[in-house]
Chains A and B, each alone.
Chain A
Amino acid sequence: MSGATLAQKIIARAAGREAVAPGEVVIAGVDMAMIHDSGGPRRVEPVLRELGVGLWDPSKVVLISDHFVPGDTEEGARILQLTRDWSAERGVMFHDGEGICHVVLPERGHLKPGMLVVGGDSHSPTGGAFGAYMFGVGATEMAGVLATGEIWIKVPETIMIEWRGRLGAGVLAKDMMLALCGRLGMDGGAYQAVEYSGQAVVALSMQERMTLSNMAAELGAQAALIAPDAKTYAFLRTCGAQVTEDSSLRTDPEASLGAHHVFDAAVLAPQVAAPHSPANAMAVCEAPRTPLDLAYIGACTGAKYDDLRNAARILKGRSLAPGVTLLVAPASRRDQARAAQEGILGALENAGGRVLPNACGICAGYGADRLAAGTRCISSTARNFRGRMGDPSAEVWLASPLTVAASAVAGEIVDPRDYLTEREVA
């Protein structure tokens, strides 16, 4: 036995196997299934009915409403009602209006290292930040999981992405991911398992690590793991998860890898991705002069507590450039409450930001604030595909919360480091 990667260990365990080899298709038992209001009940229930079966184990199903929250359209309200009725009928755990699924799931103590989790959403790799093998599937396949508790997996290779050194001031996990999208492309993950390692990754906070795993979706990886460490277990304990440390949850040094990329964190500059692909990444200083109409701090990718705090580092005591709108949709109610308590939310509001519900909102193109024709937006979200956030003529530039905040102040895309040097580079 030549050693296994973390991903292969989790899949082998879930498939009841001693070991698994990349490329083979195995049937794995699912430890937890996460669904949301958009791809969840309204799409899976008809399939369950057609199959004539119930849930394999309601205690392993977590339902979270986020896409149609706050239900301010007739359709949204109807879907939310259907979602609520279904949760009561089926007896699953339900977090209603508490925030975006990928943030709420760990926050409420559901995730544990070593789990195999299936999510009904493409950013499900986010769970990998906690050492869980979590990946996204469509609604039909989710219905199959809910009915059987099983799923087929083509055992992936592990693509190790190692970040050596330390990030410079003003450079965040989002910049690492945009740079990776630019370097490796949107299929750089080749639907394999990415694993992040190295000093710069270990140094990140848990929510910053979540940003790394989250945007592995934009690399086309199936899952994106970070080996759990003391920080992981401490974070999960504060979320109420009962976890015991397991030192076997890591990639064996002798395990063979599909690829091993090494990057130097110290030389990384803040990045932006030009419309209409995250792979259009470049250093902010190389971006063309881009006047902006809208700055958006939102999504599971870019509006967690840490993201809000980073935005406030710039926006505190400053105000928006004339003509620029700032919208902030904190990723969870808990993160918003904490940000409010610490004056972070106030700083964003005082700068001129308007706070939106704890939901996917315009990241998914929903709500009254979806981008109007011709809007030029800088956004802390994960995707800038044409038409995703609103009108197809809108242009979305992706960036870190720091860069979004600095650009909102400048009225055009700027390097946030120029705004941090003036004060404490906290």
Chain B
Amino acid sequence: MTDLTDLLDRASDLGEPPMPVADDLTRGRAALHRRRRRNGLVALGSMCALGVIAGFGAPAVLDRPAEDSPRVVETPDSELFAANQTEGPYTFGKLPVGWEVQGSYPQGVTIAPVGFPDQEPASFVGKLVIMYDQNPVSGEHREYNGREFYTNTEGDHDSVRVRTRAGEPEGIVSVQYPDSAGWDVETMIEFLDAVEVGQGALPGLG
């Protein structure tokens, strides 16, 4: 005697791989935006400012900023302070003074200065963004604390990438930050080295 539900269950189970949640969000947002534009609810041209993520290989979970936010916001230089803050699957050993976590997703976290004009958590522009992905690493190589870091500069933002530690989900964790923040690369390597990636992290797609 065999139950049909059980047969269907077994036939459909492939032991699912990580799911591209970020892409679903990106498609949904794009489709909603197109619909609103068609309906005249959004002014022509409001699809501006994909921001610093364009062409960057970042997880697509994060989209355009709030429409009234500036393209680039000057932010003060800020030192790191010892923290032990957990946001979803990510734990931060250090955070910049005067900055706060805005958005937390399985694919990453956005951090912005307190009182930052763009309060849209899923926007990258002018913010410090932690991302987890499984894309290849490239860029200028630096070593710190026994790990290999890779730095890149593109447009008005910089990034640092490093392989996750043994015991963390396999992949790359990176930090992307605006030039205007004034941090040097050593500071951001120190910041990224203090980031821990937990088991709930999902890789974004670039």
Q: Do the two chains belong together in a single complex?
A: no
